[in-house]
Structure 1
C-alpha cells in the first residue's frame, strides 16, 4: 500500500491535543475526517511523529498515511486543506518508502517556547505572559545543566510504564527578540510534559527562586518540584521533526524565516 509523508502546522488552542479521542476534538481526528471526505475510503492508517498535549501548537508536525489511492499527493493535499478547519494546514505531502515511519525514523525533535514580557492580545492562546521581570542571563547560565544524556524523571513521565526516562538534549538556547523570549530545545525525544517543566524551571531561575544547585539536584535525585513549575501549553510549539540527513537548526524557525517574532 502506498505511504505518504505529511508535514502539518496547527493552532492547538482549540484541540485536546494531537492524538485521536472519540469524545473530543483533536488534530488527528480532524485530519482523519478530511482523509475520509477526500479519498472516500474507510480503510487507511495514519501515524504521527509524536503527540502534542491540549493547547500545544505545531509548526512542523509529521505524520505518515497509508492509503490505497492513485490520487497525486499535491491534489490530495489541496483537497484536504480545502475541507480542514483554518486552524490546521498541511504544508507538504509526498510519497515515501513503505519502510518510512513518522515516529520511529525520527532522529530529533525541536520545540520552541514563547514567553512574552508584556501583556499581549495573543497571550492566552499563543504565549506565556510572565509578569515579573526575568533575568535571562541567569536562565542562559544554567542551560548547560540540561544538555547531554540525562535522566529526566523529575521532569516528565514516559508514555508507557517502565520505559526509560533517559533523554538526550542536543541543543538548548534562549533568544531575546523585542518583548519576546524564545526558548529553543532540540532532543532525541521528550517525556510527557518534559519541555513545559524545563521551561517552567528556567523561569524560576530567571525569577531568582532557583539556583544552579537546585537544577543539579533535580537530576541527581527525583523531585516533584519541576511538576509544580509546569509552563502553560499556550506558549509551546513543536517546531520540527528531524530525519536522517537533516542538519539541526541552531535558531528557532521564527528567527530563521522572518528575523524576529
Structure 2
C-alpha cells in the first residue's frame, strides 16, 4: 500500500536528501528506519524534491510502499519513535498505487532566512549579515523572476536537466523582526537555483549590481553572470502543493486497493 509521508528535517549534518555512497543523507536514515519498523528487506522512498547538503525542509513529501494497511497515525508514531531528533514525520496520508510525490506536485515553495543580528540560536538556520541590504531594491529586482522563464543563469553546469524553464509565481522579501525572509514559489526549480538567485539578489541589495543588471543576467542565460550561491544554512524547502482535491481522490483509490489486502493482525 502506498502512503505519502510529510517529513521535516534539519539538514545541518546531512549531505542532502538523496541517498549517495559514503555520505549520510536524510533519505538513507528514513529508509533505514522504515525497514526496521516494518520489517522489510527493501524500501524505496521517493521525495517531492531534492535538497542539497546543509539545506533544511519544513515540508518534504515522500511516498513509500508498505506491505500492510495501517492508519496514518500508527505509521507516524512508529517512525517518530526511532527517527533521530533532526528528522520528524508529520502527516501520513493514504494514496492510490500510482500517486507520485514528485510528478504530481504542482508547486514548490522555498524560504531563505537571513539574520541581521548575531544569534547563536540561529547559526544553523539563518545566514548572518552584519549589514542590512536594500530590501526595496531586491524586491524590485525580484520582479524579473516573475516575468521571465529561462533560468539557465541560475543553473549548475553539470546535471541531466533537459531544459531550464520554470514558472515562478511568487518571489519577494519581507522583514520579520531581525530577520529577512525571501519566499520563492514555482512549478519546478533547477538544482542549486534558489541559492544562486538569493546570492545574486543580495548583490543587488549591497549595491554591487543594479536592478537592470539583475534582469540582464537572466536574459543573457549566462551562468557566469550569477553571483556566488548563498550559504546552505538559510535555505528551507517550505511547502509542496498538489492539485485541488488531490488527497480526497487518492483516498478513494487507496480504499479500493486496500479492499484486496488483509489488515495487520497485531
Query: TM-score when scaled to structure 2?
Result: 0.87
Which residue number corresponds to residue 67 of structure 2?
68
Q: 1:101 and 1:158, CA in 2 relative to 1: closer, same or farther beyond 3 A?
A: farther
Question: Residues 173-184 of structure 1: matches in 2 within 5 Å?
Answer: 173-184=172-183
Q: 1:162 and 1:23, CA in 2 relative to 1: closer, same or farther beyond 3 A?
A: closer
Deviations along 1:224-249, one digit per CA (max 9) or x if unpaired, are 34554210010000001010018xxx
Deviations along 1:39-89, one digit per CA (max 9) or x if unpaired, are 011133211001000100000000101121133332121011110000000
Q: Matched residues in 2 for 1:123 and 1:19: separation?
A: 25
3-state SS of 1:166 partner: coil
Query: TM-score when scaled to structure 1?
Result: 0.89
Q: Which runs of 5+ in 1 are unaligned?
A: 247-261
8 Å CA contact retained: 1:170, 1:186? yes
Question: Residues 23-38 of structure 1: matches in 2 within 5 Å?
Answer: 23-38=22-37
Q: 1:113 and 1:162, CA in 2 relative to 1: closer, same or farther beyond 3 A?
A: closer
Question: Residues 94-243 of structure 1: matches in 2 within 5 Å?
Answer: 94-157=93-156, 160-161=159-160, 163-225=162-224, 227-243=226-242
Q: Matched residues in 2 for 1:162 and 1:40: separation?
A: 36
Deviations along 1:127-171, one digit per CA (max 9) or x if unpaired, are 111123311111111111111451110101388435100111111
8 Å CA contact retained: 1:140, 1:173? yes
Q: Matched residues in 1 for 2:48 and 2:158: separation?
A: 14
Deviations along 1:5-46, one digit per CA (max 9) or x if unpaired, are 010110000100000123111110110111011001113321
Q: 1:162 and 1:134, CA in 2 relative to 1: closer, same or farther beyond 3 A?
A: closer
| Aligned-residue RMSD, C-alpha | 1.7
8 Å CA contact retained: 2:150, 2:221? no
Q: Matched residues in 1 for 2:49 and 2:222: separation?
A: 26
Q: Matched residues in 1 for 2:72 and 2:225: separation?
A: 43
Q: 1:190 and 1:159, CA in 2 relative to 1: closer, same or farther beyond 3 A?
A: farther
Q: Which runs of 5+ in 2 are unaligned?
A: 246-266
Deviations along 1:103-138, one digit per CA (max 9) or x if unpaired, are 000000000100111211034311111123311111
> Which consecutive segments of 4 or more residues in structure 1 shift more than 6 A?
none
3-state SS of 1:77 partner: helix
Higher relative contact order (CA 8 A, sep 6+): 2
Pairing 1:88–2:87 present = yes
Q: Matched residues in 2 for 1:80 and 1:73: separation?
A: 11
Q: Matched residues in 2 for 1:15 and 1:38: separation?
A: 22
Q: Report which of the two structures shows the higher radius of gyration computed on alpha carbons.
A: 2
Q: Matched residues in 2 for 1:124 and 1:131: separation?
A: 13
